[in-house]
Structure 1
Amino acid sequence: MRKYRKTIIGSSLLLLLLVMSILYPYYGPKDFNHQVLVKDDQGTVIGRAPFPPSENHLLGTNRNGEDIHWLLLYGAQFTLITAFGVAVLRVLLGGIFGIILSLWAPFLKSYFKDFFLTFRYIPSILLGIILMLPIVGNFSDAPVSMIVTYQIMILVFIGFPSVTLFASDVTDELIKTSFVQSSFLMGAGRLHIVRKHLRPYIGSYGILFTVQQIISTLHITMQLGLFGMFLGGRNRAGVFGYDSPEKPASLSNEWAGLIGQNFSEIIRAPWAILSPVIGYFVVIVIINFIKKELEENLDGFQVVKKKQKQKKGARAEARSTARRGLFEFVQKL
């Protein structure tokens, strides 16, 4: 268990945050400690949201007078569940398709690569904006469940090609191992190879891929949030204080949406943007620690390390051969 100390601690912290967020309706204020105006004893307005951090508002408030730390706690569930769900779907669908591509349809791999080659030259954020614009570009009347389902499908699609190709490459590398080749020579079928020989490696790689894709999903959702593409859609009430044009607000209060809707407050109320950014940063750091520890300890990752070492060795040998080729040794008479 000591080998996975960071993984256990990090997973426990994220799970604690998720549980606290899910249970928020049972202990947190429904209006997020809402306070727009502050008046003196005579009823004169002496203050207006956003308010800086204080005893009453630990992380300050936004323009709508909502307490930032309550918003972060409530929206954490949507951020974490979406990132984890999208990552699992990417790895599950991409992994299965990658294995099928290598074992049952290797002749289609080159066509698959050529088809998705263009996606390497199109930024993921641009692709996400284009695909999500029809449903979250404006205040849509579509049900929230439909919006969320569509957004998850788009996020899965964005990462599907890279996961599929990586899973296919790993499968190709595992197929070249001696024990798999021996099974093929003895008449083993492809399903037998997958169940008996590849499954241990698939489990290890699946965990590692999932953690990597969680980080990737968090990155893309934060970028989408900066462009107003909020998970769950937009709140019709918007952000208070913007008459024209109306500034959208996140309906679910997930962290990427809080960053996007408060981005313009960096000068007037920096706490409104820095708080969710720091929260995002802490979560990504925790997940990155987990990823690095898994890379160091998972057995499946040794195949990748071995492959990388072989490539480095081949390059070093090629350079050495090239150097030797610069001189021609002759026998002295």
Structure 2
Amino acid sequence: MKNSMFRSKRFWIGLSFFSGIVLASFLFTWYGKDLYSQTQVLIKDTDGNVSHGAPFNPLLMPPFGSDRSGYNLFFKLIIGAKFTILFVFGICLIQLVLGTLLGSLLAYTPPLVQKFIEKVCKVYFYVPTVVLVYLFMMPLMVQSEHTGFQESIVIKQFLILCILTLPNLILYISQEINLFMKKDYITSSIVLGARKFYVFRKHIWLSLKEILVILFLQQAVQLFTLLIHMAFFKVLIGGRKMVQDPFGGPSTAFSLTNEWSGLIGLNKNELLTAPWIILAPLVAFTISIFVLNFMIQGIKEQYNTRFMPIPQKNQDSSVEEKKTVMSAENFRFANMKPLYKGKDRSYE
């Protein structure tokens, strides 16, 4: 337990932060309906005259202001926190389990099969994930406009994001295991007759489990960023509803869950007129990503290990291996002495 992540203060601070927000979100949903369901469209002065109309800036309705419907943005962020955080962390947990299982199986397949799968997945990497998400989730958005909030829609969105963001993690874990397999003590165990499952359980898993926690937090950061991108395409977690304008104007979309990305995507046109409507959920995303990076740095310091991001890990590892080989070759030739000296003095 000397280098355990549970000894990291940064890890516990981050864990307490997310646990507190999720707990507050559930408690507020159960017992604070009278607060978050209230709307205030007009503010009157002491003489009864209307002084301000929604949306209210943070000075008039602290701490984050209100939207055009008169809902307090702080309450909407608290309500939507449980959907955003639990959705992201749930996807990361499933990805970590499936990625470890499938990546381990891929690492034990023949090299020819591994190269073929890597080539197939590299073609997939050239397509932006947000484009694939838009293609697969837009029918669910149309469905939610007619049926309202349904758990089946959230489950389908959950599975879509798990599948679309899983291949990169599988390849990364398989390549990490391949690097571990090249270590001398593991090679010696295999030569002495150790079985593959024994080698994985006794040697590889001890090194791999330190990386998995970092991968979990890195995947969470990437998913938070992906949710922001999805928001600009009006792809919302849990679906959306359309409300017709009584005066014949265009219909307005509303998030069914108040998750943070939806508050950004549905109000992106308010950036110039009422910027606090977008800045409030952006601040929530920014703080969450900062806390995740804060936890990652704490775990890295506790393990005293240098971790690389997923896209750069393979490239850096190959470069380091090439440098090691070149250094060994230079050392060998630098210390080589001629066996004899004759007319041909090219070795001197």
TM-score, length-normalised on structure 1?
Answer: 0.85
Q: What is the aligned partner in structure 2 of residue 16 from structure 1?
A: 20
Q: What is the aligned partner in structure 1 of residue 191 from structure 2?
A: 185
Q: Distance in 2 between matches of 1:107 and 1:309?
A: 22
Asked if the contact 1:37–1:48 (Cα under 8 Å) also holds between the matched residues in 2, the reply is yes
Asked if the contact 2:77–2:281 (Cα under 8 Å) also holds between the matched residues in 1, the reply is yes
Asked if the contact 1:63–1:241 (Cα under 8 Å) also holds between the matched residues in 2, the reply is no
| 141-150 vs 265-274, which moves further | 141-150
Deviation at 1:17, TM superposition (A): 1.3
Q: What is the aligned partner in structure 2 of residue 164 from structure 1?
A: 170
Which structure 2 residues correspond to residues 275-314 of structure 1 after superposition, within 5 A?
A: 275-298=280-303, 307=317, 310-311=320-321, 313-314=323-324
Q: What is the aligned partner in structure 1 of residue 209 from structure 2?
A: 203
Among candidates 72, 81, 90, match of residue 77 of structure 2: 72
Structure 2 unaligned segments of length 5 or more: list them: 335-344
Structure 1 unaligned segments of length 5 or more: list them: 325-329
Structure 1 residues 40 and 8: alpha-carbon distance in aligned structure 2, compared to 1, 3 A threshold: closer
Among candidates 244, 253, 273, match of residue 268 of structure 1: 273
Asked if the contact 2:211–2:307 (Cα under 8 Å) also holds between the matched residues in 1, the reply is no
Q: Distance in 2 between matches of 1:129 and 1:245?
A: 22
* Aligned-partner SS, 2:286: helix
Q: Quick one: which amino acid aligns to residue 74 of structure 2?
A: H
Q: What is the aligned partner in structure 1 of residue 32 from structure 2?
A: 28
* Aligned-partner SS, 1:230: coil
Q: What is the aligned partner in structure 1 of residue 94 from structure 2?
A: 89
Structure having the higher Rg: 2
Q: Distance in 1 between matches of 2:247 and 2:109?
A: 57
Q: Deviations over 1:118-152 (max 9, x none)?
A: 22211111111111112114624376211111111
Q: Deviations over 1:29-80 (max 9, x none)?
A: 4462311234568976554311112464431110111000001111111111
Q: Quick one: which amino acid aligns to residue 84 of structure 2?
A: T
Q: What is the aligned partner in structure 2 of residue 50 from structure 1?
A: 55
Q: Distance in 1 between matches of 2:307 and 2:137?
A: 38
Q: Deviations over 1:290-312 (max 9, x none)?
A: 11232343377579799478347
Aligned-pair identity (%): 26
Q: What is the aligned partner in structure 2 of residue 108 from structure 1?
A: 113
Q: Quick one: which amino acid aligns to residue 98 of structure 1?
A: G
Alpha carbon RMSD of aligned pairs, Å? 3.2
| 194-203 vs 72-81, which moves further | 194-203
Deviation at 1:275, TM superposition (A): 0.8
| 299-308 vs 171-180, which moves further | 299-308
Q: What is the aligned partner in structure 2 of residue 7 from structure 1?
A: 11
Q: Distance in 2 between matches of 1:60 and 1:241?
A: 25
Deviation at 1:221, TM superposition (A): 0.9
Structure 1 residues 152 and 26: alpha-carbon distance in aligned structure 2, compared to 1, 3 A threshold: closer
Structure 1 residues 273 and 315: alpha-carbon distance in aligned structure 2, compared to 1, 3 A threshold: farther
Q: What is the aligned partner in structure 1 of residue 141 from structure 2?
A: 136
Q: Deviations over 1:235-279 (max 9, x none)?
A: 3448x7995432312111011111111211111111111111111
Q: Quick one: which amino acid aligns to residue 18 of structure 1?
A: V
| 10-19 vs 62-71, which moves further | 10-19
Structure 1 residues 179 and 299: alpha-carbon distance in aligned structure 2, compared to 1, 3 A threshold: farther
| 303-312 vs 293-302, which moves further | 303-312
Structure 1 residues 315 and 72: alpha-carbon distance in aligned structure 2, compared to 1, 3 A threshold: farther
